[in-house]
Structures are given as C-alpha cells and as structure tokens.
Structure 1
Amino acid sequence: MDRANRVLRAADMSRYAAAFASRAIMEARLPLDFSAGSLRIVDRVVDGLRRGVDDPVAAARTLQDLGAYFGEVLVRRARARWVDFDDTASELFRQPVGVRTPDGRAWNPLGKVVNRFELGSGESAYELFLVVPRRPKRLPLSGMADGRRQAAA
C-alpha cells in the first residue's frame, strides 16, 4: 500500500519518522537531526512544495513524512508521546495520530505541516515547537538533599 494512503498508528510513528529522516539525509542531504532547529528545514521544504506542486494529492506523501518527523521531534525534545486519536479528535484534526505532551494536551504535527502547505508561512512547525510546553528534567533527589545539607551547614 502507498505510504500516503496507509493508516497511521501511534505505535509505528517513531520508526516511520526515523526511516524518513534517514532517507532524507541520504537522498536529499537534509540535515534532519531531530533538533528544534531542524524544524526550520521542515518549514522551508513545505514552502518549496507549495511553490513547486500544484496538486496537494501529489504532495501528500511528503507532507505526511514531514509531519511524522515533526511529531517525533516533539516526542524526543518535548517529552511528548504518540497517540492514536479517537474518532472525535481524528475528525477535528483530520489526522489519525498526534502527540500528547506531559500536561495532557494533544498536538497535531501532521496537520500543522499540511496547514503550512495549504495556508502558507503563518503556520510553522518551528514556531509551534516553541510554544509546546516541555517538562524540565527531574533533578536527582540525592543531589537536592546534599545541597540542602550544605546550605544549612
């Protein structure tokens, strides 16, 4: 089945995004390293598709790939996790999967990439990443206790 028409599942998305990034690095020499900065590349690639492709159906596969990559950046950098949307969320977001951040909010990275293609530069993967809440890494409890003891001494 064509990847653009396949049913996406949360359980497959990390592997799917990693495979896309590997292909993009090898074939197009795009430096997709799952960093926040690499999302600027995603935005520029979508802008190039907007200028070069008149038919959104022809761009669907690449948009899906870029959206999966964006979602995986959120998973790796914002501690989000892939989720399968229920029927209501899937209808709302027009996508079968998305990510959920530790605060419980659902985000639609695949749809954000499609929106940039359809609506233009006002929609940005990079800018959305900047507003997605990220939970700070936990400090080891032993380090805090030691710090408190030292401060009290």
Structure 2
Amino acid sequence: MRAYAADFVARVTVRGRLPLDYSVASLRIVDFLIDGLRKGGAAREQVRETLFGLGAYVGEVLVRRAGAEWVDFDADQRAYFGQPVGVRMPDGRVWNPVGKVRNRFDLGGPGESLQTFYLTLHGRGRRAAA
C-alpha cells in the first residue's frame, strides 16, 4: 500500500499541484477533494479508483505520523470492513482508512472529516515522518 499511495500522490500532484505531503494538515485537502467530487455529482463507481487512492494516502499518513503499520485484514475483518487491507495502530487497534474516505464521499459533512478522524484517533503513537 505504501507504493500504491506514493504512486497515487505522484500522479495527482503532477497534474494538480496538490500539496499532499503526508502531513496531518494535508488531510484537510483530502476532505476538500472528496467534497469536490461529491459536489460535482460523480457516482461512487466513477471515482472508485480516486477514492481508493485517497484512502491509501490517508492510511500512509497514519503510518508516517501516528506509528501505524499496513496490515492485511483477516477474514472477519475483511467481512466487517469490506476491505482487504487497513492499518494497525501501536496499541493494536485496526482502522480502515479506505472506508473512512468512502464514508466522507457517501455521507459528507464535518462528522466524516479525515483530518478530524486523525486528530481524534485512538491508539496513535508519536513518530517523525518517514
């Protein structure tokens, strides 16, 4: 997923000059991007790959800034989250950043903010950027 996130960032920053620098502040940009997709009237299937890329990016921010690690979900977690991968926090909790991005797209609003998700996330460790 790290490579996928890096490739996604390389593609969108070349064209859009977006400041996706893996900082916590950049998660606000992710919120704005998703809101723009919603307001543009795109169906989820039309933006599926973009949402997955943004989810990979959010997960990589958790890895670099909160001490998480990418993990393959077990069968029960896959069924629950609807995803094959997620992140495990230093305290052992698992989170689904791709699902959080989809929720932001589907539901919108401040309650689904990715930046707020990070700032209120349980199990964060403190780690310098990698």
Partner of 1:88: 76
Q: What's the TM-score once normalised by structure 2's chain length?
A: 0.92
Query: Aligned-pair distance for 1:135?
Result: 2.2
Deviation at 1:54, TM superposition (A): 3.5
Report the Cα offset of residue 106 of structure 1: 0.2
**Structure 1 runs, 4 residues or longer, greater than 2 Å off:** 132-137
| Partner AA of 1:130 in structure 2 | L
The alpha carbon displacement at 1:51 in A equals: 1.0
Alignment of 1:43-54 (within 5 A): 43-54=31-42
- Looking at structure 1, the residues matched to 27 and 40 of structure 2 have their Cα atoms a distance apart, in angstroms, of 20
**TM-score normalised by length of structure 1:** 0.78
Structure 2 matches for 1:14-53, cutoff 5 A? 14-53=2-41
Question: For this pair of structures, how many residues does the alignment match?
Answer: 125
**Are the aligned partners of 2:67 and 2:126 in contact in 1 as well (CA < 8 Å)?**
no
Aligned counterparts of 2:72 and 2:85: Cα–Cα separation in 1:
5
Moved more, 22-31 or 57-66: 22-31
How far off its partner does 1:90 sit? Answer: 1.0
Is 1:68 aligned with 2:56? yes
Larger radius of gyration: 1
Q: CA deviation at 1:136?
A: 3.8
Quick one: structure 1 residues 136 and 47, their matched pair in 2 at CA, closer, same or farther if it must change by over 3 Å?
closer
AA matched with 2:97:
P
Query: Higher relative contact order by CA 8 Å / sep ≥ 6: 1 or 2?
Result: 2
Q: Where do 5+ consecutive residues of structure 1 fail to align?
A: 1-12, 138-153
CA contact (8 A) 2:66 2:126 kept: no
Question: 2:87 is paired with a residue of what secondary structure?
Answer: strand
5+ residue gaps in structure 2? none
Q: Percent identity?
A: 56
